[in-house]
Structure 1
Amino acid sequence: MGKIRFVDLFAGIGGIRLAFEQAAYSLEIEAECVLSSEIDSDAQFVYEKNFGHKPLGDIHLIEQLPEHEFLLAGFPCQAFSHAGKKEGFGDTRGTLFFEITRLLDTYKPQAFIFENVRGLYSHEKGRTLATIKHEIENRGYSFNAFLLNSANFGLPQNRVRIYLVGILDASPTFGLISDVGPKDSHSYNPQQLSLFYPLKKSVAVADVLEENPDNKYDCSSAFVEVLKQIYNNDLNRLHGVRLIDYRGGNSIHSWELGLRGKCSADEIELMNRFILKRRNKIFGNEQDGKLLTRDQIASFFDHPNLEEILDSLVAKRYLKIINGQYKPVAGNFSFEVYKFLDPSKISVTLVASDANRLGVYHNNRVRRITPREAARLQGFADSFILHPNDNKAYHQLGNSVSINVVKAVAQEVIMKTLYYTQQRTQRFENAIAHSSRNNQKPV
């Protein structure tokens, strides 16, 4: 198989294709994309800029796949709303995964690689994944599912995704090892999880940061001044800080920033204790969202002016009263940054919804990470053309795959597929030779 052909479904901006082509090139094999499909016009635009042709649109309109050896698909994480309601398996009808199986029935390639979110592994208590496995195996493919973390493949990002792989009429043993990695991006230690990616020096956020990005990525001066006040001008303390209102720990909250009105030290102290203490079992079994009475608050915040402090926090809308009980008015307050990355650690997961609000303190600047830095977190080379609209670029990169991980998966799948193809060819040739000998007439 001097040249391999592949189909790229749910292609996005082309991350899976790019990684697959890199994998083939590393194995000195030519790879040709014979069909790609992506419904989003903005993603089509970026795909065409980088690969020279525009993907087909709606997958429902594709009637048949052309000849190819590998099927790639980063299919969307739909709800699989009927999963688990029929003979122990979910029902894939009406989902986009069904479009993959429909097209598989028009032409069966030698192997496939699918990528999806981690939650697919446990969705509907595993019944959804069992459904997918059932549908794939019924078509003659092996089926393996790996949970892989981008941080284990040379990228400074704590990103876990599921990779589904299989080969037609084969029973391969892959060298990949599932490992979801650390719960916290600050406790990561690198692991060797693929023969193609041996243990190397771990990379950190600092390795992907631009030295002098455009000033448009700087946070506002008002926001920076408040941060300086909170940390007594030591902005190095921003490393790893979250801006969130329903957790304690290494976090900054709206009342500390004074987003709804400046708070006194006592008001800040009360709010910080409130969001921690309301999780205590003595106030109920709920994990979050406990409403507390004045007396319950007084049990952990004994202050002679408690009534005044509570009234002030209610007036500023940091607290609200429901049936005589107090509840924090927590949520997303559109902070300029929702998480400051630590340059010496790895990043939290890049996601489409708020990739544009990841921050960093670097070279004496408090700023958001740039689209190019987001691309580097995903393993895209600087030569890859991003969408000119920053917000669209952030969104696309948050939805994309990590190039290094897909490349490692593709290398394994390509090598195993070539092996089994060679084995089948050899068996076929042996059978022909055997038949030819048996049919020879004696002289």
Structure 2
Amino acid sequence: MIKFIDLFAGIGGMRLGLEAACQELGIDYRCVLSSEIDAKACETYNLNFGENPQGDIRSIQQIPEFDFLLAGFPCQPFSYAGKQEGFGDTRGTLFFEIEKIIKAHNPTGFLLENVRGLTSHDGGRTFQTIVKALSELGYGVRYLLLNSSNFNVPQNRVRIYLLGLKGQTPNLTLQSDKGAADSHAFKQIGIQGNLFRQYFQFKTVKDILEEEADRKYFCSAEFTQMLGKAIGGNWQKLNGVRLIDFRGGNSLHSWDLGIKGECSEAERNFMNLLIANRRKKSFGSHKDGKSLTLEQIKTFYFKPDLASIIDSLLDKKYLKEKGGKYSPVCGNMSFEVFKFLDPDSISITLTSSDAHRLGIVVNNQPRRITPRECARLQGFPDGYRLHPDDSAAYRQLGNAVTVPVVKEVMLDYLKNNWSQLNRGKRWQNSPREIAAIL
């Protein structure tokens, strides 16, 4: 039997993956302790596992004997979406709580999960610190960078999985593969040249959609009307479109939708030129572009109506002026949906802050994806019970791990390291278990 602990448990995605791997191999298992600080996540965990996780890992006084440690420790300190403060962020220091537990209890192995930014944060020094700390405790460490889209889950989500084994480096047959860079690349590349094509099917967004979604997830009548007008009634044009005011490309903007007032074609063209050109390096290196002077604007807009267009856009508040410099008034946070998924490709990465504003067009009707569809994008089985509060469910699923990836990682780890794992007294197995694995 494998006795394991589930730290920073969230809603139990890592636990589900490990248990699924054990079930496939015929290995008995038991979770002897779970820990999660978020109260609503604990409610969801209790709904599905019949146990309420203990709270803050730093407050736990007693930990039962265990063989294996699971920990999806906080990723915000290392995430590209965050400030990347690493160990300078209090949450970043929670890795050292894992280190203390491993040192005190000497488990046979562990699986840690985090964002891909962990490997590059602070020039790689943060990652080196973590591996060095684990090595000094007597563990061989291997890591994999894997994309959920390679594991029959239609989501572009690259995460790092660190696997440790007491006394030696783990043997693994899985190889790192960051998959397609985005949904467009996924459609272009398909499964050609993919390391995982012989093992897994490849789902797309349309495969995880509910047959009927509650009307509460449909876009409002006003927003639907704006969208329909902007795309000329061709709803397929929304597939893969991002609604954002400070980027161009395959995007719709507030001035395209007429959110603050109808814009003429000339005004829309001006705004699109502005957001494209304000990102030029010759105008500065600000991430999303800088404010431009009238002289700078005249280097890419040559028509004589410039003054009247600027006055009109200032009046409608699509444009703002400060100190003689002009920039768009970005309103992307006001959109009901910030990204419409392409049903024939994969989803962008789910996040806790934006999962509730991902959209899809079904039968010419734009709507938000449902919590259950978010769960399917993370590979949670349909029998998994979601939190009844939609806001909590979206947030929890955005923070969750992708269950099938954890399952495959653990299958590979257990199959290729079982003889070493089984040397410890706590891992002695019945003949049935040994025969199933070998």
* TM-score, normalised via structure 1 length: 0.89
Over 3 Å counting, the alpha-carbon distance change for 1:202 and 1:274 in structure 2 is same
Deviations 1:171-192 (A, max 9, x none): 2221121121222222113365
Identify if the C-alpha distance between structure 1 residues 285 and 71 changes in structure 2 by more than 3 Å, giving closer, same or farther. closer
Which residue of 118, 121, 125 corresponds with 1:120? 118
2:432 is matched with which residue?
Answer: none
Instruction: For residues 9-56 of structure 1, give each alpha carbon's deviation from its aligned partner in whole angstroms, at most 9, with x where no partner exists.
Output: 010011100111001001111111011111111011110110011111
Counterpart secondary structure, 2:233: coil
Which amino acid letter does the alignment assign opposite residue 387 of structure 1? H
Query: Structure 1's 323 and 398: CA in aligned 2 closer, same or farther, altered over 3 A?
Result: same
Residue 295 of structure 2 is aligned to residue 295 of structure 1: yes
- 2: distance between equivalents of 1:66 and 1:328? 57
Shift of residue 95, structure 1, vs aligned partner: 0.9
Match of 1:213 in 2: 213
Which has the greater radius of gyration?
1
Task: For residue 143 of structure 1, give the secondary structure of its aligned residue in structure 2.
Answer: strand
Q: Aligned residue for 2:58?
A: 60
Match among 86, 107, 116 for residue 109 of structure 1: 107
- Corresponding residue for residue 225 of structure 1: 225
- The one-letter code sitting in structure 2 at the alignment partner of 1:388 is P
**Cα 1:13–1:276 shift into 2, 3 Å:** same
Q: Is the 8 A contact 1:111 1:417 kept in 2?
A: no
CA contact (8 A) 2:179 2:194 kept: no
Contact in 1 for aligned 2:151/2:201 (Cα 8 Å): no
- Map 1:289-438; keep pairs closer than 5 Å: 289-330=289-330, 332-422=332-422
3-state DSSP of counterpart to 2:145: strand
Question: What residue in structure 2 maps to residue 45 of structure 1?
Answer: 43
Determine the C-alpha separation between the residues in 2 that align with 1:300 and 1:156: 40
CA 1:159 to 1:318, structure 2 compared with 1: closer, same or farther past 3 Å? same
Aligned-residue CA RMSD (Å): 2.2
| 1:214-252 Cα deviation digits (max 9, x unpaired) | 111000111111111111111111100000111111100
Residue in structure 1 matching 2:151, options 150, 153, 156: 153
- Does residue 67 of structure 2 align to residue 69 of structure 1? yes
Taking the aligned partners of 2:213 and 2:424, their CA distance within structure 1 comes to 54
Classify the secondary structure of the residue corresponding to 1:38.
coil
SS at match of 1:16: helix
Range with bigger deviation, 376-385 or 185-194 = 185-194
Does the residue aligned with 1:391 lie in a helix, a strand or coil? Answer: helix
Secondary structure of the residue aligned to 2:333 is coil
Q: Distance in 2 between matches of 1:400 and 1:337?
A: 21
Instruction: Give the conservation status (yes or no) of the 8 Å contact 2:247–2:288.
Output: no
Q: What's the CA shift string for 1:282-334, capped at 9, x where partnerless?
A: 43455532222223323322222211110111122222112212112225332
Partner of 1:87: none
Partners of 1:303 and 1:146 lie apart in 2 by 54
- How many aligned residue pairs are there? 416
2:264 is aligned to 264
Residues 71 and 343 of structure 1: CA distance in aligned 2, closer, same or farther (over 3 Å): same
For structure 1, list consecutive stretches of 5 or more residues without a partner in the other structure: 85-89, 426-443
1:421–1:200 CA distance, 2 compared to 1 (3 A): closer
Shift of 1:423: 5.8
1: CA distance, partners of 2:424 / 2:352 = 43
CA distance in 2, matches of 1:126, 1:20: 29
- Following the alignment from structure 1 to structure 2, what is the Cα–Cα distance between the partners of residues 335 and 91? 31
Q: Distance in 2 between matches of 1:83 and 1:42?
A: 26
Q: 2: CA distance between counterparts of 1:192 and 1:410?
A: 21
Question: CA separation of 1:162/1:234 partners in 2, compared to 1, >3 Å: closer, same or farther?
Answer: same
